[in-house]
A and B are shown apart, each in its own frame.
Chain A
Amino acid sequence: MAGDLRDGRIVIVGASLAGLRAAEALREEGFTGSLTVVGDEPYPPYDRPPLSKQVLLGRVAADSTGLPMRRDPEADWRLGVRASGLDPLGKRVVLADGKSLPYDRLLIATGTRARTWPNPEEAALDGVFTLRTRDDAGELAERLAAGPRRVLVIGGGFTGSEIASACRERGLEVTVTERGPAPLVGALGGTLSKLAAAMHRNNGVDLRCGVTVTALRGDASGRFMGADLSDGSRVEADVCVAALGAVRNVEWLADSGLAAGPRGIACDAGCRAFNMYGIVTDDVFVAGDVSRFPHPLFGYQMLSLEHWGNAVAQAEVAAHNMVSPGPLRRPHLAIPTFWSTQFGLNIKSVGVPTFSDHVVIAQGSLEARRLAMVYGYQGRVTAAVTVDMAKSLDYYRHLIETAAPFPPAPGAADRPIAADIPVPSDVPDPKGLSHGPTVALTGYLPDRRLTVVHPTG
């Protein structure tokens, strides 16, 4: 049986980080059959995190972030063509150019795209951007290099904050609007969001929280010139970036019968997709940002993660399971981890900070701009976030993995008094924010309401 699984036809839809790493891992696992990778962008797999950092700072070119291969996956790359449908009974992927690809096993790694400004006419104004792809980053970097009078960033999530940080570093005036009470509040909760707001303002960002943008204005030639805000004020700017979060690329699966929706494609811990009846498939696998999977450390809630590390880890598990018989399959149990660099600070997170009721500052302090914050849920450590303290993160990962009690026991030499004072974690309902969450708990807890549902399109 195992011999059969190492042969046959595997199709991977999605040619970004998860698709590439899965293709490599399939060969590593001994897959000798035919391997086809479909990607809608015309470029080979490239890395996205540098796009909002090095590229916007003008230090590296947008077309230079191609991902290195660990090994040549000897794949047939179908780049620049979109998958438009799936026939799970006939076992074929339908492509937008009318061709179709038969498969024995399929991996879906179609990821996400940027949520666009909801008014299409305003979104089409010259100077209005989103940031997700290499082309987006290239065009935006060019605009920033031209020295606009002011940049408007809509949404104070990680991407919006990194864009604002890059603008300030380039000496550009920037306004950030966020419907929630502070930047990053949806991901990190109340306390660290106040530090984030202070970092924005100390670095000269015109930060407007608790407001929404009601309209984008253009001149007669269709060039963006400013925006109206819900508090009646107006922002004059030449460039606008809508950093409103991500939309999962699932529309092509609408008629497939798979459990694909706005929150992603539901799969089991072994990356096998569920169909719409909740029955697990055995030949369709999911990995990366488009997946939604159960995690035992977080109450078996379905997690949707937009994390680089998750794409890599989940792709490897999916690849292993695609070529392994049932009892040898592995679960994807990696602890969510991500990072962001903004305003000269390195923010790293492990666990799920939104899965929390209280926090303590276990090391360092807000004033020092250097700290480790530990998140707890019902007396158990569920997450930690470090600011310029990355070396401490592994210790807290261990606490999460072992379900250590919260607040954590004394351990660090620089333990402040605050480590004994749990305060509410203050994670708001994501519905009230401009920026979509990069981690979404999409299950239910009896005492919490943290579901995210976004309209499609």
Chain B
Amino acid sequence: MRIVVDLTRCQGYAQCVFLAPKMFQLHGEEGLLYAPAVPDDQAERVRQAAAACPVQAILLGEEVSADGR
């Protein structure tokens, strides 16, 4: 699973940081750093974080498979 956070939308409520601290970290007061690749053992926490985001800025899904052609 991959995630991308729409940081134009993110307002630094940091709910994701509490729910999945290995994946989301605050950088300063409200800047967000996150790991785009989600290991399986973090997937459930990341789903909860996405659901809890007050501005719904976290998008999760699968990556485009590279065998395109």
Contacts and interface: CB of A to CB of B under 8 A. Distances in A.
Contact of A346 (B4, B30, B60, B66): B30
Most chain B beta-carbon neighbours within 10 Å: one of A43, A71, A346, A393: A346
A68 B2 contact: yes
Contacts of A341: 27-28, 31-33
Contact of B59 (A44, A60, A68, A79): A68
Contacts of B34: 50, 54
Interface in A370-423: 370, 388, 390-391, 393
Contacts of A307: 8
Contact of B7 (A49, A68, A77): A49
B40 to A, nearest CB: 15
Interface of B, helix, strand, loop or mixed by DSSP:
loop
B2 A67 contact: yes
Contacts of A69: 61-64
Contact of B12 (A61, A338, A390): A390
Contact of B4 (A43, A47, A72, A345): A47
Interface string A325-348: 000000000000111010111101
A434 B50 CA distance: 39
A66 interface: yes
Nearest to A43: B66
A44 B35 CA distance: 18
Contacts of A309: 6, 8
Contact of A66 (B7, B10, B27, B63): B63
A308 B11 CA distance: 16
A64 B69 contact: no
B12 A346 contact: yes
A234 interface: no
Nearest to A64: B37
Contacts of A66: 2, 36-37, 63-64
A78 B27 CA distance: 37
A353 interface: no
A78 B61 CA distance: 21
Given A68-B62, A339-B7, A77 B36 contact: no
Contact of A68 (B3, B10, B35, B69): B3
Nearest to A65: B36
Interface residues of B, number: 31
Contacts of B65: 44
A70 B61 contact: yes
Nearest to B25: A59
B29 interface: yes
A344 B63 contact: no
Contacts of A59: 33, 35
B29 A50 contact: no
Given A69-B63, A76-B69, A60 B4 contact: no
Contacts of A53: 27, 33
Nearest to B68: A77
B69 A20 contact: no
A67 B4 contact: yes
Nearest to A309: B8
Given A69-B63, A338-B8, A346 B35 contact: no
Nearest to A348: B8
A374 to B, nearest CB: 18
Given A75-B68, A339-B8, A68 B31 contact: no
A142 B42 CA distance: 27
Nearest to A61: B37
Interface of B: 1-4, 6-8, 10-12, 27-37, 59-66, 68-69
Given A69-B61, A308-B6, A346-B29, 9 more contacts: A44-B63, A59-B35, A60-B37, A66-B2, A69-B64, A70-B61, A308-B7, A346-B31, A391-B11
19 contacts: A37-B68, A59-B33, A61-B37, A68-B1, A68-B60, A71-B61, A77-B68, A337-B8, A338-B8, A344-B29, A346-B29, A346-B31, A348-B8, A370-B29, A388-B29, A388-B30, A390-B11, A391-B12, A393-B11
